């Protein structure tokens, strides 16, 4: 028979979402331009043209990656929130059931 038991480590899930968001911020705070030599450093217009094209593509790729990973962090955060709400709701429901069951008087008791 299939078991449907599972557990979610909510603090770790929240830490993962926060860690991803912080990493993305680190990338956003840095600029690809800071990592690539300038035209003057290269000393050649032709070489600069190729390097600039590479830099532009690299930056576009990083921006796309950051956007996708930001969305992932948001979804992980939402999952953690959903699990926390479900846990609270389940605990409240079980407390109500316990209170109701405790109030039932069984014959002979």
Question: What is the rounded distance in angstroms from the CA atom of residue 79 to the CA atom of residue 109?
Answer: 46
> What does pTM read for this prediction?
0.65
For the chain, domain boundaries: 10-97
54 pLDDT band (50/70/90 cuts)?
A: very high
The pLDDT of residue 52: 93
For the cut 60, the answer to whether the pLDDT of residue 67 exceeds it is yes
The pLDDT of residue 105: 78
- Reduced to 3 DSSP states, what percent helix, strand and coil does the chain have, rounded to the nearest 5? 80, 0, 20
């Amino acid at each position: 028979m299939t078991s449907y038991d599972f557990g979610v480590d909510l603090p770790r899930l929240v830490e993962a979402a926060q860690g991803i968001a912080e990493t993305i911020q680190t990338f956003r705070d840095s600029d690809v331009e800071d990592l690539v030599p300038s035209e003057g450093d290269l000393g050649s217009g032709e070489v600069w043209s190729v390097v600039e094209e590479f830099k532009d593509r690299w930056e576009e790729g990083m921006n796309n990656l950051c956007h996708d990973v930001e969305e992932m962090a948001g979804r992980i955060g939402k999952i953690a929130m959903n699990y926390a709400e479900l846990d609270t709701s389940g605990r409240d429901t079980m407390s109500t059931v316990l209170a109701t069951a405790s109030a039932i008087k069984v014959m002979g008791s």
